Amino acid sequence: MTAAETEERCRAVVRKAEELVASAMAGRDASHDAAHAFRVRDLALSLAREEENNNSSSISLEIVELAALLHDIGDYKYTKNGVEDTTVVEKFLEEEGLEEAKRDKILTIIKGMGFKNEVSRVQLADSSLEFGIVQDADRLDAIGAIGIARCFIYGGSKGHILYDPEILPRQDLSKEKYMGKDEKQTTINHFHEKLFKLKDLMKTNAGKRRAIKRHQFMQDFLTEFYEEWSGRA
């Protein structure tokens, strides 16, 4: 197979992945819909190109793009039993004829990139540049202006209280506690429990640079929120 044929084959797989994302994530609230997956893909490719310009290591753009596109299809927040499920992704990658090594790499990235793993302090299963790029892209979409919008959309979809000064942010979250649905939660507390922590968890230099502006935007927003809530503004 020539280089041109290989490239066309890769683009065909990506187009089918886009179709799968649009179908599998249809009907979700806008915090974790297909548009989120497409933004993460675009961010990931942009980060990858930036890292390539400043890093001697080679990066598989195919792995980055497919992992970014497919990362939320089996998100535990949207499965019937509340457990992460990569069955659909595994079947898709196998049917599209990707080599086993590429399939394993993509699935490892998807399974390891969630914040729930970070709070449990589990050792990363993948420390590659591809993993860091996809994870950083997903986290960038969770902060800044879009991150704020997604946070309130998700909180509203779950019926969370907007804010209650009597309900304090949870400290020393475990994986189980973070994923738990029984505790009363507020949308504003999510900023303290997760979103404000993401800037310092970025893995790539490109991700770290971009996170600074988005993080500051969230801080300014919450300062204004508290002033308005208390009647000071």
What's the number of CA atoms in the CB half-sphere (13 Å) around residue 223?
A: 6
**Amino acid identity for residue 72 in this structure:** D
pLDDT reported for residue 160: 94
What ranges do the domains of the chain cover? 3-230
Q: State the CATH class of domain 3-230.
A: mainly alpha
**DSSP states along 64-90:** HHHHHHHTTTT-GGGSTTSS---HHHH
pLDDT reported for residue 185: 86
Residues of the chain predicted below pLDDT 50: none
Question: Can you tell me the distance from the alpha carbon of 229 to that of 233, in angstroms, rounded to the nearest whole number?
Answer: 8
pLDDT reported for residue 57: 73
Helix axes 87-95, 100-112, angle to 10 degrees: 160
Taking only the tens place, the pLDDT of each residue in 59-83 is 999 999 999 999 999 999 999 888 8
Question: Can you tell me the distance from the alpha carbon of 66 to that of 18, in angstroms, rounded to the nearest whole number?
Answer: 9
pLDDT reported for residue 100: 96
